[in-house]
Amino acid sequence: MTRHHLRLDALHAVWDNALPPALTVASGDTVTLDTLDASGGGVARRVASGDLGAPDALHALILADVRDPLDGPRGHPLTGPVYVDGAQPGDALRIEILDVQTAAWGWTGCRPDGIGLLDAALATEGLRAHTHLWDLRAGTHADFRPGIRVPLAPFPGVIGVAPAAPGPHPTAPPRHVGGNMDVRQLVAGSTLWLPVEVPGALLSAGDLHAAQGDGEVSGTGIETGGQLTLRVHVEPQAGLTTPEFTTPVSGGTSRLWHATTGHHPDLMTAARVALRALLRRLEARGLSLEDAYVLASACVDLKISQIVDAPNYTVSAFLPLDIFREA
């Protein structure tokens, strides 16, 4: 089987089955995709302009990643599309995730007018726009501040194939053909199945995260660039209607968790109640509101604890207590 490599000159920021393939591969081939962070290099440009300060240890690394903005509509920078020879509508594309390598640095942000779960509510409490820069060079963990260490488990936030409906389509919402699913369990060793709707499938991926809690509550995980290595297979007439996957992980690895709960007839409201209570726990440990919010997005898991006890649903927010260490 052949190995291929797509670099950052094969970027696009929409889903569109009219996009010309950047690469054609055979079923069983392996492809490595170089990827750009979700800001399209915007965070690096802010550091270069002086708009955003960076730790001395990261400054030169970030400047080395500065590149011009992408042309065209704003969206996740995706590497592709990859045409898989033989893939036809009705088939499934089976994708083995062989390796996920991050850049040397990453970022997590929040802002009062953003897309996070609590942005509007926290704006009334004085939430400010905030970007935290992470040193990812250790490979296994990243220190948030002295005494707080987040384990890393990199995965692609966006991976999908082109929909049959004429485009262009924005990259933000996930779809039945994949896309911006932000499933943090899609780490190396996972296998993903996607329903094929157009000839060649037209696979693209990007938006690597070095770590993320289930829910990505501030709207960002630990966003980073890097490399994603996949092996692709065509499964004829698989009858798939939505993405499916196998994974070697199902949750975090902390030995002890602190969980807060929310109860409400609306799942989003229940999630907000649980998360706000969890942020108070972090603030009680001395974190600012902004730091509590972005740290939660990197490692706190939202889970539906029950959905059958009418009229209220229960959502729990799980904080891994192993992130806290002696300074």
Residue 250 has pLDDT above 80, yes or no: no
Give the dihedral of Cα atoms 99, 102, 107, 111; nearest 10 deg: -30
Pairwise CA distance, residues 22 & 35, whole Å: 14
Asked if residues 230 and 206 have their Cβ atoms less than 8 Å apart, the reply is no
User: Does 253 or 12 have the greater pLDDT score?
Assistant: 12
Residue 252 has pLDDT above 80, yes or no: no
Residue 251 has pLDDT above 80, yes or no: no
Asked if residues 293 and 117 have their Cβ atoms less than 8 Å apart, the reply is no
CA angle 80, 33, 296 (to 5 degrees): 100
Pairwise CA distance, residues 321 & 109, whole Å: 22
Asked if residues 126 and 181 have their Cβ atoms less than 8 Å apart, the reply is no
Average pLDDT over residues 284-309: 95
Pairwise CA distance, residues 325 & 327, whole Å: 6
Average pLDDT over residues 75-92: 97
pLDDT for 183-207, tens place per residue? Answer: 999 999 999 999 999 999 999 999 9
Residue 13 has pLDDT above 80, yes or no: yes
The pLDDT mean for the chain works out to: 95
